[in-house]
Amino acid sequence: MLKNNRWINLAFQLAALLLAVIFTTLILLAAGAPPLEAYKNILMGAFGSLDNFANVLVAWVPLLLTTAGLLITFSAGLWNIGVEGQIMLGAIFTTWVMRLLQDTTMPPALILTLAILAGMVGGALWAMLAGALKTFGGVNEIFGGLGLNFVATALTLWLIFGPWKRPGVASMSGTVPFDDRLSLTVFTGLRLSPWALVIAVAAIVVVYLLLQGTYFGLRLKAVGRNARAAFLLGIPTWQYMMMSFALCGLFAGAAGAMQVVAVYHRLIPSISSGYGYLGLIVAMLVNYQALWAAPVALFYAALNIGSIQLPIVLKLDSSLSGVLQGMLVLFVVLVEGARQQLMKKS
């Protein structure tokens, strides 16, 4: 009766969304905040104007890049919690190259390209450090990654307040902004860069093709499903794991690079903005299917940007979007479980 139909799946996902909204409403009512007002604020904040929607896309870019990378490590069965730090190292390497080259006579396009590539390398190196700790040091990647995240945060702060501090006084607002000619072209009047969009979309397409259409992707998934069996079948297991870490780091590093060259034009303390953890959620929610990553990431970006308005209007801070995000994850999982039980019965 209930076939494994795409539309039925979609209906279940919508049911999850509805349940999450109902529950969040109940919590809001219990806390004495007006729910309708809050939702209206989120919607308007995300889609109320071209400006706002452009900001949603600005957030979508690093989220999609991070998710693309995480799909690779998840395929290899790895919990790359260190992705947050990989974004930061990407931003640090990009800033470093920009600082080195900003006063040279090189064409800006070349400087930007080199800076972005440097960011990708930085992310990949940090990821490979987590990978090496796991493969050669026997350090679980959750612990190693988490530790490296803290180290990356501290490193960022040290650079901002130490060697790269603004002339005069160092501050939480970050390093000295780069010259205007050294930022990615943006759509007139908006903060959104077409180049950043192109890079993000290209990333998810590449990851989709890599995982679905190549021998490498197939073997990577074999490692993820059962590393021992894959090893016995002759797949060089640890090399594949390292490779997946490095690839994920490339994408995370690119996300960090975008934050520097297209959004903030400098290194700031919160340069990764939690996109790493959000990326983990998106990758898990789409059940590791690259195709779904784009719309789900867009939804989460909208939720994040939309709730920026809340503190000003309702004194609610972004906690509401946190509640809603948590609820969404839980209800998607819950509804998925219920769906599978139902299918078994029919």
Which residues of the shown chain bind another protein in the complex (CB under 8 A)?
27-28, 31-33, 79, 81, 133, 137-140, 142-144, 146-151, 154-155, 157-158, 161-162, 277, 280-281, 284-285, 315-317, 319-330, 333-334, 336-338, 340-341
Other beta carbons within 10 Å of 75: 25
- Rounded to the nearest whole angstrom, what is the least distance from the CB of residue 33 to another protein in the complex? 7
- Rounded to the nearest whole angstrom, what is the least distance from the CB of residue 319 to another protein in the complex? 4
User: Which residues have a Cβ under 8 Å from the Cβ of 287 and sit 6 or more positions away?
Assistant: none
- Rounded to the nearest whole angstrom, what is the least distance from the CB of residue 146 to another protein in the complex? 5
Q: Is residue 268 within 8 Å of residue 80, measured between CB atoms?
A: no
- Rounded to the nearest whole angstrom, what is the least distance from the CB of residue 239 to another protein in the complex? 19
Cα–Cα distance measured from residue 166 to residue 173, given in angstroms and rounded to the nearest whole number: 10
Other beta carbons within 10 Å of 138: 8
The token pair at 167 is: 């002339």
| Cβ proximity to another protein, 57 vs 128, nearer residue | 128
| Cβ proximity to another protein, 142 vs 201, nearer residue | 142
Q: Is residue 94 within 8 Å of residue 268, measured between CB atoms?
A: no
269 phi/psi in degrees, rounded to 5 = -55, -40
The per-residue b/e assignment along 90-111, b for 16 or more CB within 10 angstroms, e otherwise, is: bbbbbbbbbbebbeeeeebeeb
Q: By C-alpha distance, which of 138, 155, 28 is closest to 86? A: 155
- Rounded to the nearest whole angstrom, what is the least distance from the CB of residue 98 to another protein in the complex? 21
- Rounded to the nearest whole angstrom, what is the least distance from the CB of residue 172 to another protein in the complex? 12
| Cβ proximity to another protein, 182 vs 330, nearer residue | 330
The token pair at 221 is: 């998934």
| Cβ proximity to another protein, 117 vs 284, nearer residue | 284
DSSP E strands in 58-204: the ranges are: none
- Rounded to the nearest whole angstrom, what is the least distance from the CB of residue 137 to another protein in the complex? 4
| Cβ proximity to another protein, 217 vs 269, nearer residue | 269
| Cβ proximity to another protein, 27 vs 190, nearer residue | 27
| Cβ proximity to another protein, 53 vs 96, nearer residue | 96
Helices (H) and strands (E) in the chain, counts: 14, 0
